[in-house]
Amino acid sequence: MPNSTKLHVLIIEDNEGDFLLVTNYLSKVFPFANIIHCTYLAAAIALLKQQTVDIILLDLSLPDSNGEQSIKQLKALNGLPPVIILTGLADKQTGINSLRLGVQDYLIKDDINGAVLQKSILYSIERERIQVQMAQSEKRFRSLIENSTDGLALLNSVGDIIEMSSAACKILGCNSTEFLGLNRPGFLHPNDARKVSKLFSAVVKEPNKVLTLNFSVLTPGGDYIWLETYFHNLLDDTAVNAVVLNFRDITRRKNNEAEKKQLIDELTKSNADLKQYTYITSHNLRAPLTNLISIINLIEWQKIKDDDTRILLEAFKVSTSLLNETLNDLMEAIVIKESGNSKQTELSFCDINDKVTRSLHSMIVQGQATIKSNFLSAPTVHFDAGYLESIFINLLSNALKYASPERDLQLDIKSYRVKDGVELIFSDNGIGMNMAIVKERIFGLHQRFHTNADSKGIGLYLVQSQLNALGGGIKVTSNINVGTTFTLNFKKQSAYA
């Protein structure tokens, strides 16, 4: 509020006597006030466009304007200071109409004195300041509401819409006149109508109650959308007198959840089918493998005189023995998987590598492959034996399958200690892959990137699954006609920390 030494008062009055009387009153209560006088409204409006004042004292009977028209012309100005009407007419209705038009006070000239003027001016200036602050606050609040991505609606006690924000109209795909409220026929999804009604009844019964609920509604376009809603009972708040409804569109999230559930169900079924397939395969292999072992045990080795035959039979015996071990490990892995407990021990990379290369000896010789290994930096790893053997088999056999026809296969296998565990690297000079094309599918189930007839698209999927199951991971880099490198990470364990 301006100090009396800085108070600027504009008096719009064409009667000289009334002007002098008002000036005399003002000089007693605001002795240092700056008083400006205009006898015409047009002159006052021109002055207000050039300079600012703190208060306007307006007579309603002017030569160029009178009555409510004078007020309307002044109120059309931007940044207008508070206005006090000074009139000789004791017309109650005129006073009420003036206040409705935005003036701060309405004084009858015969009733005023210094004290009345002082009080009216001070109160008018303070009321105007508060009103401006409230208007600015409401404007900011409106801006927040209108620019929010969440919808806002005000409901009465029976669920009818009183008001909706633009965001709410956008979410629901309608305008406020089209939307009647929660009770609109067909608005709520049949599965949700009862629970929404029950929740709203609970909210209305208790002041300041806040409840939340997710439900779906029908838009004018004929589509159902999911809303995440918050109902806040402010019916007892005189400034609001409504149930405030905040909501947002969560249709995409709900659809993603449904797709995720469907995917989980499909994966669960696939896992069950794969487990059943494993049982059948292992069972069907067991009988012929047992027969082979029995046949080998019946061979009378001392009677075999031909060295080539003996070598072939011994190789056959080794391969059969390794196949039996692998089948036993597979059965054990199935039991472990079924129970949810994986038996992890300290394993030697060198031992696993020797075992697998022996089982793949004929493929290695036939492919004229050279396999170099160096496990000196990290000779062991804490892992599941069956999983690690399976990983070596898949990565070694893949390297052999996809060797380049233009050169002999060179496969390097190395292990390193790293901060978070052990890293195992398989690097070959095979035909390679175009990573820009296969990157997103490389570890997918039944994904094949070459035309080899024996490619099933399962090996890399199993390698990643086995590593992930025990907290590890795998990365791949590859270039066509250059080769492929797989980098496996084994999670650090206390056993080799």
The answer, yes or no, to whether residue 5 has pLDDT greater than 80, is: no
Least confident of 92-96, 130-134, 178-182, 264-268: 178-182
The answer, yes or no, to whether residue 461 has pLDDT greater than 50, is: yes
The pLDDT, as a whole number, for residue 396 is 92
Highest mean pLDDT among 60-69, 194-203, 260-269: 194-203
The Cβ of residue 358 has, within 10 Å, a number of other Cβ atoms equal to 14
Beta partners for 414?
Answer: 374, 425
Closest CA relative to residue 50, chosen from 39, 38, 67, 64 = 38
Q: What is the pLDDT of residues 400-419, one digit of tens each?
A: 988 998 999 999 999 999 98
The Cβ of residue 27 has, within 10 Å, a number of other Cβ atoms equal to 13
The pLDDT, as a whole number, for residue 409 is 93
Q: Are 71 and 101 in contact (CB under 8 A)?
A: yes
The answer, yes or no, to whether residue 424 has pLDDT greater than 90, is: yes
The pLDDT, as a whole number, for residue 497 is 39
The answer, yes or no, to whether residue 358 has pLDDT greater than 80, is: yes
The answer, yes or no, to whether residue 95 has pLDDT greater than 80, is: no
Residue 168 is encoded by which pair of tokens?
């709410």
Determine the residue type at 210: V
What is the percentage of the chain residues whose pLDDT exceeds 90?
35
The answer, yes or no, to whether residue 85 has pLDDT greater than 60, is: yes
The answer, yes or no, to whether residue 322 has pLDDT greater than 60, is: yes
The pLDDT, as a whole number, for residue 138 is 67
Q: What is the largest CA-CA distance in the chain?
A: 149
The pLDDT, as a whole number, for residue 220 is 81
Q: Per-residue confidence at 237, pLDDT binned at 50, 70, 90?
A: confident
State how far the alpha carbon of 165 is from the alpha carbons of 148, 250, 269, in Å: 9, 18, 46
Can you tell me the distance from the alpha carbon of 468 to that of 418, in angstroms, rounded to the nearest whole number? Answer: 18
The pLDDT, as a whole number, for residue 291 is 80
The answer, yes or no, to whether residue 455 has pLDDT greater than 50, is: no
**Strand 61-62 with 65-66, pairing:** antiparallel
Least confident of 225-234, 329-338, 465-474: 329-338
For residues 396-400, give the mean pLDDT.
Answer: 90
The answer, yes or no, to whether residue 121 has pLDDT greater than 70, is: yes
State how far the alpha carbon of 117 is from the alpha carbons of 24, 28, 29, 157, 387, in Å: 11, 10, 8, 46, 96
For residues 213-237, give the mean pLDDT.
Answer: 89
The answer, yes or no, to whether residue 177 has pLDDT greater than 70, is: no
The answer, yes or no, to whether residue 490 has pLDDT greater than 90, is: yes
The answer, yes or no, to whether residue 456 has pLDDT greater than 60, is: no
For residues 384-396, give the mean pLDDT.
Answer: 90
The answer, yes or no, to whether residue 4 has pLDDT greater than 60, is: no
The pLDDT, as a whole number, for residue 279 is 67
This prediction's pTM: 0.41
Can you tell me the distance from the alpha carbon of 405 to that of 371, in angstroms, rounded to the nearest whole number? Answer: 17
For residues 251-257, give the mean pLDDT.
Answer: 87
The pLDDT, as a whole number, for residue 213 is 92
Round the average pLDDT of the chain to a whole number and report it: 83
